[in-house]
Amino acid sequence: MNLKKRFKEAKSDYFTYAGVILAFIVISVLKANGGLNRSQTGLLVPICCYIVMAVSLNLTVGILGDLSLGHAGFMSVGAFAGVITAMGLYNVIPSAPVRLALAMIVGAFFAAVIGFLIGIPVLRLTGDYLAIVTLAFGEIIKELITCLLVGVDAEGLHIIFNVSGSKTATDLNLLEGGRVIIKGAQGATGTKTIASFTAGFILIMITLVIVQNLIRSRHGRAIMAVRDNRIAAEAVGIPVTRYKMMAFVTSAALAGAAGALFGLNYSNLAATKFDFNTSILVLVFVVLGGLGNIWGSIIATVILYILPEALRSFASYRMLIYAIVLIVVMLTTNNPVLKTYREQLREKFGKNKDKEATGA
Amino acid sequence: MKKTLALILALTLVFALAAPAAFADDAFKLGSSGPLTGGAAIYGISVMNGIQIAVDEINAMDDGFKFEFKSQDDEADSGDKAINAYNTLMDWGMQVMAGTVTSGSGITVAAQAFEDRTFMLTPSGSSPDLTADKDNAYQVCFTDPAQGTLSANVFAESFPGAKVAVIYRNDDAYSQGIRDTFVKEAAAKGLDVVYEGTFTDSTSTDFSVQLTAAQAAGADLIFLPIYYTPASVILQQANQMGYAPKFFGVDGMDGILTLEGFDTSLAEGVYLMTPFFAHADDERTQAFTAEYTKRFGEEPNQFAADGYDAAYILKAALQAAGCTPDMSAADICDALVEVITTISYDGVTGTGMTWKSTGEVSKDPIVVVIQDGAYVTPEF
């Protein structure tokens, strides 16, 4: 790796930061001047969450090269850990931003712990096997949270693990003035919403700093070496499991933080929200944006998240058109004729050649 | 590729041109959100059809009262999609909401509507959490606990000494909510619950384990606080096993007779509790059933009836409160909150419906039994 190339890669990182900051400033100004309507404003926080989800999944799928189908599981762990934290501390810490920050940290922590525990068996596998095990893990998390009853009162947290399904929120035996945070299948209800667009922006920036620096570091190169050729990487003495774990746990922690932000944006959140479909949705963002391409993940997330909302005027044809657009976009981005055409364009305008080449 | 693109562009243009024409300003903007795509779409579409019929009827009356109706898809999601649908309606200028269809999205939307001061009357969102601690949210349907209590009462009166089994879906707030109060009330009334079986969305295609266990426990009455799609599988499998207990469903069972590909003879003798009975004797229900069947080619279920009633109840409340279409959503909300507890309404889902300030409706449920492919009043 020569210096010139490194500098160019770093430059593309700075472009990403600059782009995100610019978007944040433009949107904030628009929002302050009433340039956004309600539905557009309402999309901001979930978009931030899904961007973090996509970027973090890109770390597992694009950089580490392991197909994970259970990313929503980490989001779920983070969301419910975050909601419990924020609601549990509701009477202790009056400041909403502080509670939100704490909730995201706790969400990230628990998701990382779960990511580590899952990683021990999972990362011994590769390819299809790993994909299926992560898929199963996502379903297990969903089932477990469905069994969870959590409440808080003056004595602290009360948690029941309702495996038989025969217990209800009254079994928590909360004192007067206590509140139920998670009611099993009904999920977290009555959550006080404290998530904000600014928090979402900060989370995206932190995610970008962590992921991009990890990729450009020595560890990142080791992780990519494992992706490109595991045997060769092992032969040159790279501890494969350690680096796999590093990428996997980082990815899980970021998804957990995104989950906490997401969970605190809605007053009701059921575990079934974070099912297989959500994992696939995020995977679609990543694949469409380009595996390993961080900037692409961000753009793809924004476009694909807004698309079904923008298509609302088509009423019942909405999801059909969404699906058609997805197919068309996937086909066009991989069409050899169009690829050559793009190459020609690029040669004409010369400049951007190196930057694009990094997105493998 | 070019052809495909051209085709898509052409389609887009056609859809864009087909957008409905705008109404005059003298109509109240009535919005509703529910699942119009995905697995729960049947409920959302039924509710929207019911509301649409009511709105058309109201607009055809010449009393000067008009509704302009718009529905949005929330995919039965309790998070972002629910809020997106609600925000889209608010951008359109919604003044009153006849939504949401499902409880999960209702809880999310109600919290937001409470902050915005938007009045909402949910046709079919049955969770008590939807209306809890909010003065702006009301229900047309029974709450889940109310159904559990009512079922337990019916069991104690009509099936004394029965050995009861409960099969419910434990990842669904609706099913779990009814089951929780039912089991509590059943214990208080001395009912003998011999078995409880659970399933989830992903395991709703095979019930042989639960049915075998219920049979082994000697259950002769199976309580099914679930929707009719899994219930149809239970009825089929019980029939194959040669196990013939009595089945008792709640309002989610309504619709089983119109399920495609289901042998309705299997549903013979199934009891269910529903607020709506498409073949009831009263004139209103008959007119509604006739109109619905004519327009949509199928009989209305209770979701459609709930939607139909919701629009009429909102009209009655708006008139009682003396609201005008030029008022803001927040002013209308405050005015409606004042009057909703004072009005009494006779609709297709119940007569003498009144509302408590908690948001819950008071009305009598109807227990029916399926005989010869139709609902009839049972003789116990």
- CATH number for B242: 3.40.50.2300
CB B99 within 8 A of CB B33: yes
Residues B244 and B298 in one domain: no
Residue A314: list chain B partners with CB under 8 A.
Answer: 15
Residues B166 and B245 in one domain: yes
Residues B99 and B118 in one domain: yes
pLDDT-wise least confident of A332-336, B141-145, B187-191: A332-336
Q: Which three-class secondary structure state does DSSP give residue A179?
A: strand
CB atoms within 10 A of CB A139: 17
pLDDT surpassing 90 at residue B316: yes
**Which range has highest mean pLDDT (A150-159, B50-59, B256-265, B294-303)?**
B50-59
Q: What is the pLDDT of residue A351?
A: 53
Q: What is the ipTM of this complex?
A: 0.86
Residue keyed to tokens 């020609």: A344
Within a domain: B36: yes
Within a domain: B376: no
Within a domain: B73: yes
pLDDT-wise least confident of A150-164, A277-291, B177-191, B220-234: A150-164
Residue spans of chain A under pLDDT 50: 353-360
Q: Which three-class secondary structure state does DSSP give residue B346?
A: strand
Residue A177: list chain B partners with CB under 8 A.
Answer: none
Within a domain: B347: yes
pLDDT surpassing 60 at residue B59: yes
Quote the tokens at residue B151.
Answer: 């079922």
Residues B291 and B305 in one domain: yes
Residues B134 and B31 in one domain: yes
Q: What is the pLDDT of residue B4?
A: 55
pLDDT-wise least confident of A161-165, B139-143, B306-310: A161-165
Q: Which residue of A has its CA nearest to B113?
A: A267
Taking CB atoms and an 8 Å limit, are A267 and B16 in contact across chains? no
> Whole-angstrom Cα distance, residue B222 to residue A23?
58
| The overall pTM is greater than 0.95 | no
Quote the tokens at residue B230.
Answer: 């899994």
Enter the DSSP assignment of A173. -
B133: left (phi over 0), alpha (psi -120 to 50) or beta: left
Q: What is the pLDDT of residue B22?
A: 45
Residues B201 and B118 in one domain: no
Tell me the domain boundaries of chain A: 3-357
Residue B18: list chain A partners with CB under 8 A.
Answer: none
Q: Which domain holds residue B52?
A: 25-142+284-362
Residue B88: list chain A partners with CB under 8 A.
Answer: 38-39, 309, 312
Residues B41 and B132 in one domain: yes
pLDDT tens digits, B94-127: 999 998 998 889 999 999 999 999 999 999 998 8
What lies within 8 Å, CB to CB, of B283 at 6+ separation is none
Quote the tokens at residue B131.
Answer: 């209306």
Q: What is the pLDDT of residue B10?
A: 53
Helix residue spans in B61-207 (DSSP H): 80-92, 103-116, 128-131, 144-158, 173-188
Within a domain: B279: no
Q: What is the pairing mode between strands A148-153 and A179-183?
A: antiparallel
pLDDT surpassing 60 at residue B11: no
What domain count does chain B have?
2
pLDDT-wise least confident of B225-234, B298-307, B360-369: B360-369
Residues B239 and B297 in one domain: no
Element (H, E) at B314: helix B302-320
Helix residue spans in chain A (DSSP H): 3-32, 38-58, 71-88, 96-122, 127-146, 197-216, 218-228, 230-235, 240-263, 276-289, 294-310, 318-333, 336-349, 353-357
3-state secondary structure B76-97: CCCCHHHHHHHHHHHHHCCCEE
Enter the DSSP assignment of B141. S
CATH of domain A3-357: 1.10.3470
Q: What is the pLDDT of residue A165?
A: 66
Residues B73 and B136 in one domain: yes
Q: What is the pLDDT of residue B16?
A: 47
CB atoms within 10 A of CB B25: 10
Cα A263 from chain centre: 13
Taking CB atoms and an 8 Å limit, are A262 and B79 in contact across chains? yes
Q: What is the pLDDT of residue B302?
A: 87
Q: What is the pLDDT of residue A161?
A: 86
Residue B198: list chain A partners with CB under 8 A.
Answer: 165
Taken in order B183, B184, B186, B191, the sign of the CA dihedral is positive
Helix residue spans in A171-275 (DSSP H): 197-216, 218-228, 230-235, 240-263
Pick B1's closest partner by Cβ from A312, A318, A335: A335
> Whole-angstrom Cα distance, residue B85 to residue A324?
22
Residues B134 and B32 in one domain: yes
pLDDT surpassing 90 at residue B173: no
Within a domain: B13: no
Nearest Cα to Cα of residue A159 among A148, A170, A145, A167: A148
Instruction: Please give the interface size between A and B, counted as residue pairs whose CB atoms are below 8 Å apart.
Output: 126
Q: What is the pLDDT of residue B273?
A: 87
Pick B79's closest partner by Cβ from A146, A266, A321: A266
Rounded to 5°, the CA angle B52-B53-B57 comes to 115
Rounded to 5°, the CA angle B238-B244-B250 comes to 80
Pick A186's closest partner by Cβ from B15, B83, B127: B127
Give exposure, B85-113, as e/b (b: 16+ Cβ within 10 Å): bbbbbbebebbbbbbbbbbbbbbbbbbbb
